[in-house]
Structure 1
């Protein structure tokens, strides 16, 4: 947020549940990028899908004084440059973008509808997309330049709006109510290949500010090992218990070396930024490599399903203060 702004402007914060952080490796990357937070999710280590890069951003609106001393006057173009770098460095990942982008996209298509010699999409020669899901949008005003830039970016990187495409937002609800009227300017955008794991998207009915929260639900298939029954991957009602067996020592060492080799760079990066995260990642390596030594054990908790490590910590503090 700039000190010279006429009113308070947007910013970015990302919060991650401790239970998720312990489950998979999550690393912040591209710290030098402005107006965004970029996270790398090593989801393929436990989920049967590609890794995911999540990009959270706030883009100042057209005509904002933020651009007065900047050569680039279109915030979407800055995001384009960021995504170009990300795709170059991580070509085999799925993208997920979210934030207040101040784009009015109306009914603009965010994909190339046809791929043949008899159809031209604008003045582009991009490859056609197999994605053709219809999108609804309550925004009745014409799109702005940012909106045109954003849908062009979607076509280039094969990413698409979640807004207006899921049962929870079948009409493409407004995400902002201000003095200028109602609008859809907050978006979630995802790679075509990521859509199969998204179960729903919705705009929440809360009036904490002039922008409504937007939310989506992912569901990924977990990787199951031959000697690991389904009950051992129930994260809400089970824990893993290991017992060292010399008979499978070689299997453990071989798998540990393979995992360490593939995750070495991200592990070293996390050590430099967050030691706690690095410890969690190392612990996960040992647990994953030691899957051949899993023991059947089930712990049934009396706590509700939403209870997590943070709740345990607060409960411990309360007990200590009361004694």
Structure 2
């Protein structure tokens, strides 16, 4: 699977709905993650193979995961320009007994600051890499190319020599025509500069775009939507010789975590595996949530007032150093938790992935009835757009999303403001 998750990956990995989307694949490439080297990116049943963090500018960021069973068949070959990597899948996985080299890439949009800071031509670098890896095996490219190719041919049309010419030069060299027997279609009819670069790359190396050529995507679905329009910019591209082992390519439904749709690629494998579902037969896992209870407001204030002396000592001992501030914040948190847990604690069942305790944004204390109403409206708009990607449905989805996000942000800010007022009140008392 390849998916542009549009920032905040570490935060999204704590959401059970997000993890459910990615959990079914064996090889997972997530891009535009906006991560750093300190983020906890562990996911249960996945091995984190690569964490690509930009060193010269903000943005971007990619991660590559694979399932445990792939461990002895996969290796990272190279990472380039903090924006793409090459992965080798061992030839023992495939019937043709050739290694498959997978390019996992995020190409920034035109005029992005990336090109100023890194001063490189990504397509030229990828072209040189493909020429090398094609001598060692087959090539598969996945990711967000920010390239709109429309339905333009990714091969050289009518690239056949006349039979008489072939008879005359046939003894001198073999001429291999650049043909493709499977036509490509696309809902996106626009071609941009990056798209032209991608089409030139396809023609120069003999790789073919899988979008719009498979049973799971026989219309060339949009992979990105915005208020201003929709486009196809996330791709799977492979050598013409291995189109037959790409058994399917699917642009999944849009969801609430990104304006990009996840793209799922299925590849025929010679090894036979079975999926084993591990069921926890012991006691279910529980977690304790602290949720504000307005009815107990007076009791909470009385409980905190009883600790006024401890609060006063705590504030008096704060020094302008990082260690002192960290310790004071920790002590204050414990003090407030001890005073409120008997009034605001709720025990619920939960699931875990890696080191994350999975919850949904709907579990947050600021997620009020208005948030729930807007959430349902947003989900309905997503359903309609996934069913029929018309202009009206896309515009309606963009409006519903903006309204929902704005209210969520406002509700969260108001909640934090009230929490801050409570702390200020405690400091005065």
Structure 2 CA distance for partners of 1:114 and 1:184, relative to 1, 3 Å: same
Structure 2 CA distance for partners of 1:41 and 1:4, relative to 1, 3 Å: closer
The offset of 1:47, in angstroms, is: 4.3
Which residue of 204, 213, 233 corresponds with 1:156?
204
CA contact (8 A) 2:94 2:269 kept: no
Could you state the TM-score of these two structures normalised by the residue count of structure 1? Answer: 0.60
State the match for 2:20 in structure 1: none
Higher share in strand: 2
Structure 2 CA distance for partners of 1:145 and 1:117, relative to 1, 3 Å: same
Which residue of 203, 209, 218 corresponds with 2:251?
203
User: Which of the pair has more CA radius of gyration?
Assistant: 2
Which residue of 140, 165, 172 corresponds with 2:213?
165
CA contact (8 A) 1:57 1:98 kept: yes
Structure 2 CA distance for partners of 1:114 and 1:61, relative to 1, 3 Å: same
The offset of 1:165, in angstroms, is: 0.6
The offset of 1:26, in angstroms, is: 1.0
Q: Note the alpha carbon deviations across 1:43-67, whole angstroms, 9 max, x for none.
A: 3367443110111000011111111
Aligned: 1:216 with 2:260: no
The offset of 1:33, in angstroms, is: 5.4
Structure 2 CA distance for partners of 1:317 and 1:34, relative to 1, 3 Å: farther
SS class of match (1:210): coil
State the match for 1:271 in structure 2: none
Distance in 1 separating the partners of 2:216 and 2:187: 14
Aligned: 1:115 with 2:159: yes
Q: Note the alpha carbon deviations across 1:251-301, whole angstroms, 9 max, x for none.
A: xxxxxxxxxxxxxxxxxxxxxxxxxxxxxxxxxxxxxxxxxxxxxxxxxxx
1:223-302 superposed matches below 5 A: 234-236=272-274
* Structure 1 gaps, min length 5: 119-125, 223-233, 237-304
* Structure 2 gaps, min length 5: 1-33, 35-53, 163-174, 286-429
Which residue of 120, 125, 129 corresponds with 2:178?
129
Which residue of 224, 232, 256 corresponds with 1:176?
224
Structure 2 CA distance for partners of 1:14 and 1:115, relative to 1, 3 Å: same
1:47-62 superposed matches below 5 A: 47-62=95-110
Structure 2 CA distance for partners of 1:318 and 1:81, relative to 1, 3 Å: farther
Distance in 1 separating the partners of 2:283 and 2:74: 27
State the match for 1:265 in structure 2: none
SS class of match (1:62): coil
